Amino acid sequence: MKIGVIGAGFIARAVAQLALAAGHEVMLSNSRGPHTMSSVVSGIPGVQVGSAEDAARFGDVVLVAIPFEHYRSVPAQWLEGKTVLDSNNYYPDRDGHWPALDRFETTTSRLLAEHFSQSHVVKVFNAIFASDLTQDARPHGAADRRALPVAADDAAAKAQVIQLLDGLGFDAVDAGGLDESWRFERAKPAYCVPLDKAGLKAALAAAERTVQLPPAARPHVKP
C-alpha cells in the first residue's frame, strides 16, 4: 500500500524503514517542505518526500507523527475517508496543559478523531520507542515477537492496521475503542514496554485511569 507520513521525526522514519522493507511505498513530510529533507532521502533509500499535504494525498493510510499540540494544524479535509494512524502522546511540558486530558476526561486519539471526523483514526505506534521499532521487528511466528496495542472505533480500519503491523514484524493486541486508548498512553504499564501478546494483554488490564506510573515502576523498560 501507499503510506503517507505527516512528520519526519524518529517514529516517522522508523515506520518508513519497516514499511519500505515490507514492500510498501512511503512518503515522509515536514512543516518546512521537501527541500529541507535531503538527509532523510539519503538516509532512507527508496523513501519519497513531499509537503504535508502531498503526504496526506499520497497515502492509502496516513500516519500523523507530529507533536500532539500541532494536530489541529493538519486540515481535516486532507484526510477525509482515509485510515489515520495516530502515534501521538501528550506531554504537558512540551504540549502545554490540556484540561480535558489532565482531568482524564478524554484521550488524545478521541481528540484527533473529533478533528478528523471524516477519517478512521487508529491509535498505534505511540507505545514503542523509535529505536525498538527497527530492532524488535520479527518474522511472523517468531517465538520472541513483540506485540503492540491498537485501538480504534472502526473495525475495518483496525483490522487493516493489525494486518499492516504483522507485515512490519509485530503482533497486535486489540485494546478496544478510542476511549480505551488511555490504557497504553504515557505513564501506563504498557507504555514503551517490550511485551508479547499475553504480557501486553495483562499490562493493558492492569492500567488504572487516573494513575500515572514513573518509569521505574514499569517493568522491563528499555533505556
Chain center to CA of 195: 17
Phi first, then psi: what are they for 117, rounded to 5°?
A: -70, -20
Q: Tell me, what's the pLDDT at 21?
A: 97
Whole-number Cα distances in Å, 74 to 6, 53, 67, 91, 207? 9, 8, 12, 19, 31
pLDDT tens digits along 109-145: 999 999 999 999 999 999 999 999 999 999 999 999 9
Computed over every residue of the chain, the mean pLDDT equals: 95
pLDDT at 149: 98
- pLDDT at residue number 32: 87
- pLDDT per position as a tens digit, 155-207: 999 999 999 999 999 999 999 999 999 999 999 999 999 999 999 999 999 99
Looking at domain 67-206, what is its CATH homologous superfamily?
NAD(P)-binding Rossmann-like Domain (3.40.50.720)
